[in-house]
Structure 1
Amino acid sequence: MQTIAEITQVANQGPFAPNWSSLGRFSMPEWFVKAKFGIFVHWGLYSIPAYNNEWYSRNMYLKGHPEFDHHVATYGPQKEFGYKDFIPMFTATAFDAQEWMKVFKKAGAQYVFPVAEHHDGFQMYQSSLSTWNAAERGPKKDILAELKQAAEDQSLHFCTSSHRAEHWFFMGHGKEFPSDVVEPLQKGDFYWPAMPEPDNQDLYSEPYPTEEFLDDWLLRTCELVDKYQPELLYFDWWIQHEAFKQHLQLFAAYYYNRGVEWGKQVAICYKHDALMFGTGIVEIERGKFAEPQPFYWQTDTAIARNSWCYTTTLDYKSSSEIIRDLIEAVSKNGNMLLNVGPDGQGKIHDKDQEILADIGAWLTMNGAAIYESKPWRIAGEGPTTITAGQFQENKVTQYTSQDFRFTIQGDSLYAMQMISPMDGHACIQSLSLSSDQNLPAFHGIIQNVALVGHPQQNLDWQATHDGLSINFAPIETDKPIVFKITMK
Structure 2
Amino acid sequence: MAHLSKRDILLASLAAPAAGAVRRRPAAETPTDLPAIAPGPFSPSTASLARFQTADWFRNAKFGIWAHWGPQAVPRQGDWYARFMYVPGTPFYDHHLRTYGHPADVGYKDLIPLWKAERFDPDALMARYKAAGARYFVSMGVHHDNFDLWASRHHRWNALAMGPRRDIVGAWKAAAVRQGLRFGVSEHLGASYCWWYPNHLYDQFFPRLGVNYDGADPRFADLYHDNRDEPFLNTPQSWYTRNPAYHQLWFRRIRDLVDMHQPDFLYSDGGLPFDGVGRALLAHFYNASVARSGRLEAIYTCKDTGSGAFDARWAVQDVERGVLKGINPLPWQTDTSNGDWFEREGDTYKTPGEVITMLADIVSKNGNLLLNVVLHADGSLPPESDALLEALAGWMAVNGEAIHDTRPWRVFGEGPTETASGMFKEKAAYTAADIRFTVRDETLYALTLGSPRGQIAIAALAAGNAQERRPVRSVRLLGYPEPLRYRQTDAALLIDCPARLPTAYASAFAIRFA
- Normalising by structure 2, what TM-score? 0.87
Distance 1:254 1:66, change over 3 A: same
Deviations along 1:342-364, whole A, 9 cap, x unmatched? 11111122320111121121111
User: Are residue 275 (structure 1) and residue 306 (structure 2) matched?
Assistant: no
Residue of structure 2 in register with 1:39 after alignment? 65
Show the 5 A alignment for 1:62-101: 62-101=87-126
Q: Secondary structure at the match of 1:159?
A: strand
Could you list the per-position Cα deviations for residues 263-319 of structure 1 after superposition, in whole angstroms to 9, with x for gaps in the alignment? 160021100262322101100000001111111100001111xx1111222211110
Change (3 A) 1:441 1:54: closer
Query: Matched residues in 1 for 2:347 and 2:286: separation?
Result: 38
1:165 to 1:207, Cα distance in 2 relative to 1, 3 A: closer
Report the CA distance shift for 1:402/1:482 in structure 2 as closer, same or farther (over 3 A). same
Q: Provide closer, same or farther for how the CA distance between residues 301 and 364 of structure 1 changes in structure 2, counting only shifts above 3 A.
A: same
* Conserved 8 A contact 1:167-1:193: no
Query: Is the 1:166–1:238 contact (alpha carbons within 8 Å) kept by the matching residues of 2?
Result: no
Partner Cα distance (1:369, 1:419) in 2: 15
Question: 1:167 Cα shift?
Answer: 1.2
Distance 2:113 2:75 in 1: 13
Match of 1:162 in 2: 187
Amino acid at match of 1:81: V
- The percentage of aligned residue pairs carrying the same residue is 34
Q: Which amino acid aligns with 1:69?
A: D
Secondary structure of the equivalent of 1:261?
helix
Segment drifting more, 337-346 vs 470-479:
470-479
Q: Distance in 2 between matches of 1:425 and 1:466?
A: 14
Distance apart, 1:199 and its partner CA: 2.6
Alignment of 1:55-204 (within 5 A): 55-177=80-202, 178-184=212-218, 189-195=222-228, 196-203=230-237
Contact 1:169–1:193, Cα closer than 8 Å, also in 2:
no
Matched, 1:294 2:321: no
- Per-residue Cα deviation, 1:62-96 (whole angstroms, up to 9, x for no partner): 12111111111111111211111012211211111
Corresponding letter in the other structure for 2:468: F
SS at match of 1:377: strand
| 1:200 positional shift | 4.0
> Is contact 1:44-1:124 (8 Å) kept?
yes
Provide the rounded CA distance (Å) in 2 between the counterparts of 1:238 and 1:191.
23
1:248–1:358 CA distance, 2 compared to 1 (3 A): same
**Distance change >3 Å, CA 399–CA 119, structure 1 → 2:** same
How far residue 5 of structure 1 moved from its aligned partner, in angstroms, is: 7.4
After superposing the two structures, state which structure 1 stretch, 18-27 or 194-203, moved more: 194-203
In the alignment, is the contact (CA less than 8 A) between 1:39 and 1:113 conserved in 2? yes
Q: Describe the shift of the 1:358–1:186 C-alpha distance in structure 2 as closer, same or farther (beyond 3 A).
A: closer
- Structure 1: runs of 5 or more not aligned: none
Q: CA deviation at 1:472?
A: 2.9
Letter in 2 for 1:70: H
Structure 2 spans left out of the alignment, 5+ residues: 1-30, 203-211
SS of the residue 2:224 aligns to: coil
- Displacement, 1:207? 9.1
Task: Please report how far the alpha carbon of residue 47 of structure 1 lies from its aligned counterpart in structure 2 after TM superposition.
Answer: 0.7
CA contact (8 A) 1:8 1:250 kept: no
Instruction: Assess if the C-alpha contact under 8 Å between 1:420 and 1:475 holds in 2.
Output: no
Once the two structures are overlaid, the 10-residue window that deviates more, 20-29 or 266-275, is 266-275
**8 Å Cα contact 1:175-1:182 kept in structure 2:** yes
- Asked if 1:409 is matched to 2:410, the reply is no
Aligned residues between the structures: 468
1:161–1:233 contact (8 Å) kept in structure 2: yes
TM-score, normalization by structure 1 = 0.92
Q: CA deviation at 1:36?
A: 0.4
Q: CA RMSD in A?
A: 1.9
Deviation above 6 Å: which 4+ runs of structure 1?
none
2:407 to 358, 374, 381: 374
Alpha-carbon distance, 1:329 to partner = 0.5
Q: Distance in 1 between matches of 2:115 and 2:390?
A: 27
Q: 1:418 to 1:171 in 2, by over 3 A?
A: closer
